[in-house]
Amino acid sequence: MDLSLLTRKSDVEWWIEPHGGMRVPGIIYASEALVKDMDAKVYEQLMNVATLPGIERASYAMPDAHWGYGFPIGGVAAFDADRGGVVSAGGVGFDISCGVRVLATGLTMQEVEPIKKRLADELSRSVPAGVGSVGRLRLDAGEMDAMLTGGARWAVDRGYGAAADLERIEEHGCMTGARPDEVSERAKNRQRDEMGTLGSGNHYLEVQQVVKILDPAVAAAFQLREGDVVVSIHCGSRGLGHQVGTDFLKRMAIEASTYGIALPDRELACAPIDSPLGQAYLGAMRAATNCALANRQIITHLVRRAWAGIAPRADLTLLYDVSHNTCKVESHQVDGQTKPLFVHRKGATRALGPGHPDLPPVFASIGQPVLIGGTMGTASYVLVGTSDGLARSFASSCHGAGRSMSRHAAVKRWRGRQLIDELAGRGILIRSPSPRGVAEEAPGAYKDVVAVVDAADRAGLSRTVARLEPLVCIKG
């Protein structure tokens, strides 16, 4: 990106001053090096988002931002329904409620190392992964709608986990306002056999070691210690969420003009929040969110069962589950007035600071865990939300490293089998049904996650707590 197009506010804050049809500025939180490496499309997409009706404060990009569909991935924007604000399917993304959850095992690296290969093999057998992967659970029409309404609560009620898990999941495991009737039959059919599956792309199941504690007080509250082993699950709403996004993007593109919305880019297709189409999308999106929450809950059950057969002492307690492709109604202050806003986070993580009323009691005095996924051969991080982040970015932070290279380019540069062997040489065991998928997700195809997390910390969006490194990675 051309830095001359931006106004530098600090080492990690850059503005696109309002011009043309922009109603608010565009704000990028990133270091100079990260901004320079961002593709020019991020600049264009931030400007376009800033033109949408009812947008508040700014159009934001997180340190891991890169070109997406309509909104940049790593984009955040909030809209006021009372001012004609819109909801955009492109502002949520296709993998609705894709997110990360972390489980503590209660075991140390020394205890896990001797059983690492057995764990890799058993986890690979237990959790289906890859394009078109099918689970052992098949949902009929009634159970499909119950799942879309109940989310992780539905899963727990059917024996997939414990009620205590729900206190450590966003929305307590269930997003209210879901409307399964607005989810197409095609979307439901795509999901009927996919519950409890990882899918493909950047999704993964990892066994990780806590290698460094950067905030001892918060780490202790999160029960993280150096040398501990944890499990991370990164996946979303699978085929159902993708179909919901596809269905509504088409409808929004067709109907935008009937609402008097002039789109600078067709990919920004949207509808007024209070319109029938806007409400239909929100209902379907919330149902897809519940699908993702239920999916991660079922995978958690499968992971616990796999560990129990190899390491019965492992307790697999849930630390937290947080999504990063959502639109949520939240109370925020704008010009001294508290109002409900529809906050779109696409490839961005909610990061509530200490004392926020939406935090579960266990995190009320600490802040929300912010879970940052790595790239198979690089570190992941646990961060914590800050009070400053509320005003800086509607309490939002980065979600991962962010791609720096397309999947097509990655396949040209790397070979999956070679990567698997190289990572095994570093003590990282990869299990995947697709060597091509491994090549597409090569660590070198992503930004430097250390730089991304450092920028989020320096910008006050979230504070770094612990660094995790992979031991085993199950990939699609």
Which residue carries 């979307």 as its tokens?
A: 187
Confirm whether 356 is a catalytic residue: no
Q: Looking at residue 91, what is its pLDDT? A: 97
Segment 112-139, tens digit of pLDDT = 999 999 999 999 999 988 787 888 889 9
Segment 49-74, tens digit of pLDDT = 999 999 999 999 999 999 999 999 99
Split into its structural domains, the chain has a count of 1
**Are 204 and 434 in contact, with CB atoms under 8 Å apart?**
no
How is residue 5 annotated by DSSP?
Answer: G
pLDDT of 163 above 90? yes
The answer to the question of residue 453 being in a domain is: yes
The answer to the question of residue 9 being in a domain is: no
The answer to the question of residue 275 being in a domain is: yes
The answer to the question of residue 222 being in a domain is: yes
Q: How far is C-alpha 251 from the geometric centre of its chain's CA atoms? A: 25
Tell me which of 203, 234, 242, 399 is the catalytic residue: 399
Strand, coil or helix: what is 22? coil
The answer to the question of residue 219 being in a domain is: yes
Average pLDDT in the 374-389 region?
95
CATH of the domain at 208: 3.90.1860.10
Mean pLDDT, rounded, of the chain:
96
Structural domain for 255, as ranges: 76-475
Burial class (CB in 10 A: 0-12, 13-18, 19+), 101: buried
Average pLDDT in the 306-319 region?
96
Q: Looking at residue 230, what is its pLDDT? A: 98
Q: Looking at residue 13, what is its pLDDT? A: 98
pLDDT of 200 above 80? yes
The answer to the question of residue 11 being in a domain is: no
The answer to the question of residue 65 being in a domain is: no
Burial class (CB in 10 A: 0-12, 13-18, 19+), 4: exposed
The answer to the question of residue 115 being in a domain is: yes
- Vertex 342 angle, CA 341 and 346, to 5°: 135
Spatial separation of the C-alpha atoms in residues 78 and 76, rounded to whole Å: 7
Query: Is residue 99 within a helix (H) or strand (E), and if so which, with residue range?
Result: strand 99-108
pLDDT of 358 above 90? yes
Which band of pLDDT confidence, cut at 50, 70 and 90, is reported for residue 201? confident
Beta strands in 246-391 (DSSP E): 270-272, 317-323, 325-334, 337-346, 349-350, 369-372, 380-385
Average pLDDT in the 362-371 region?
97
Which band of pLDDT confidence, cut at 50, 70 and 90, is reported for residue 277? very high
Whole-prediction pTM value? 0.96
